[in-house]
Chains A and B, each alone.
Chain A
């Protein structure tokens, strides 16, 4: 068990609160830096996917976990980022510039969609984004001159100062982008804006009466998460090397949401853990499939069933996700053997409608 002795206010504000935190995160970063040198190519490719999903997940944590809004159309922003990246690169725009532009484009689109929908309550945003996701998917498949339609669009190999950024190099690029994004989001979350977003999630009326501009901040949260999704999409384009509209359907949106729910929706760490889980699960299913009797293993429906069951498990049994479970385990160990069972009892909620009538 440890005690925090706080000598000044800075301790509460800074990112790294304790020395051992710096140590463990440093060790993790070191491991990630060394990974391409040690691990086989296939693993590095999978880890690149995880890094990219984490970028998108960080945005979803801000939107869903912190602000309490749900987007069912985030795949659309990923699609916009990916296609923008492919098209810009094909026109000869330098890699870093086009990455930024792709993110910015997604953000602008987020602004256009979010502004009207965010004046409403959470559910309407979910539906508006849901519709928006469909529209983007249909647009992408029909705007053939730009996107190649259903026949797809190939993505040029990224180069930076004349060097082709592929394999391990691309992995490092993604790692840098992810770390920058996480720092940026962490800064936002510890600033007044971050507090205001959490305030909106818990009580809109009182946030408003404290001077929080609901529409502005909800839009900001939405735009930020759209930008991160677009940026993630731009990186995604390079991993896929070939884009087609059906990659960015409702299923991707659900997969992304599932990722943050599984990881633990209120923590950034949860986004990363969720990304690991979502990337690893299909692989695990593919491996296990061979050991199952063919009657079960050969079913095409196996993967959706497993995914569905996993979601159900997390929402019903462990709503705080993987990171929430980890915090509980850590607390238990720190307090051992003095941890009373009632520490982790869940509160009971009752629905109280916000409708007047």
Chain B
């Protein structure tokens, strides 16, 4: 079953075409990896899916629902969560609070109920906390629960961002370079977690990755981009041996 479908997506910034007529679809339960050299338009694609940018042309569908013009804050409710390439955490809040923000899309009560903090809010809060504790267990973040995020090392923060995205219980998880800035050991951990996310939670993962080892370890399917257009799509081996991909990466004729 197709979860995410991108149809002829194009993005123009002034005269620059960042993404040019990109189409692909991600099957439910897949780990789908996007690769490509810098400036290939990978992050731009992610920004399209989280509706930070609007496409100049094309459509995006999640499970058959067109979300091309949905306001950005409704994307989470649709079931898409994401992480950021350069970490966008809430630095002045604790790890627990950061993860709880991930639960924001489950907020059902109004502002008035909150000012009174009635039983409904209490129950919702306890419910959120339980869900968050599950993620804390899963990612082994117990030690940092009450620590301010700004004070933590980069590797841990990377995991916290993954956790925050998981807390919103998405159907589709967008990971923007999950291993960038991590050491070999940490990125191996991330690899296992990504596989676990697919296995335990049944979440479909769409990720951008530069680390070929990590990509090979987890991906079911790979899409290679260059200068905004699709170069190749297929299994890891197919894409890795594709002559145009090798050319784009190494700059030589294969």
Contact = CB atoms under 8 A, between A and B. Distances in A.
Q: Please tell me whether chains A and B touch each other in their complex, using a CB distance cut-off of 8 A.
A: yes
Interface of A: 9-10, 12-13, 184, 187-188, 190-196, 198-199, 201-203, 205-214, 220, 266, 347
B96 A203 contact: no
A9 B100 contact: no
A13 B125 contact: yes
Given A211-B74, A211-B168, A199 B93 contact: yes
A210 B92 contact: no
User: Chain A at the B interface: mostly helix, strand, loop or mixed?
Assistant: helix
B91 interface: yes
Nearest to B127: A9
Nearest to A204: B88
A13 B96 CA distance: 12
Interface centre among A13, A184, A220 (most CB of B within 10 A): A13
B104 interface: yes
A192 B104 contact: yes
Contact of A202 (B50, B71, B73, B92): B92
Interface string B83-115: 010001111110011001111110100010011
A193 B114 contact: yes
Contacts of B96: 12
Contacts of B168: 210-211
A207 B117 CA distance: 23
Nearest to B75: A209
A5 to B, nearest CB: 13
B94 to A, nearest CB: 10
Contact of B100 (A184, A195, A206): A195
Given A188-B114, A191-B121, A211 B88 contact: no
Q: How large is the interface on B (under 10, 10 to 19, 20 to 34, 35 or more residues)?
A: 35 or more
User: Chain B at the A interface: mostly helix, strand, loop or mixed?
Assistant: helix
B115 A187 contact: yes
A211 B150 CA distance: 22
Given A9-B126, A13-B122, A13-B126, A192 B76 contact: no
Contact of B88 (A203, A213, A214): A203
Contact of B72 (A190, A198, A208): A208
Contacts, number: 108
A184 to B, nearest CB: 5
A347 B116 CA distance: 37
Nearest to A211: B76
B219 to A, nearest CB: 23
Interface string B51-93: 0100000000000000000011111110001101000111111
A192 B101 CA distance: 7
Given A193-B107, A206-B89, A208-B72, 18 more contacts: A12-B96, A187-B116, A188-B115, A191-B121, A191-B125, A192-B100, A192-B124, A194-B114, A195-B93, A195-B101, A198-B90, A199-B101, A201-B92, A202-B92, A203-B89, A203-B90, A209-B81, A211-B168
A265 to B, nearest CB: 12
B171 to A, nearest CB: 14
Contacts of A198: 90, 92-93, 97
Contacts of B20: none
Contacts of B150: 347
Nearest to A200: B90
Nearest to B74: A211
B163 to A, nearest CB: 12
Contacts of B116: 187
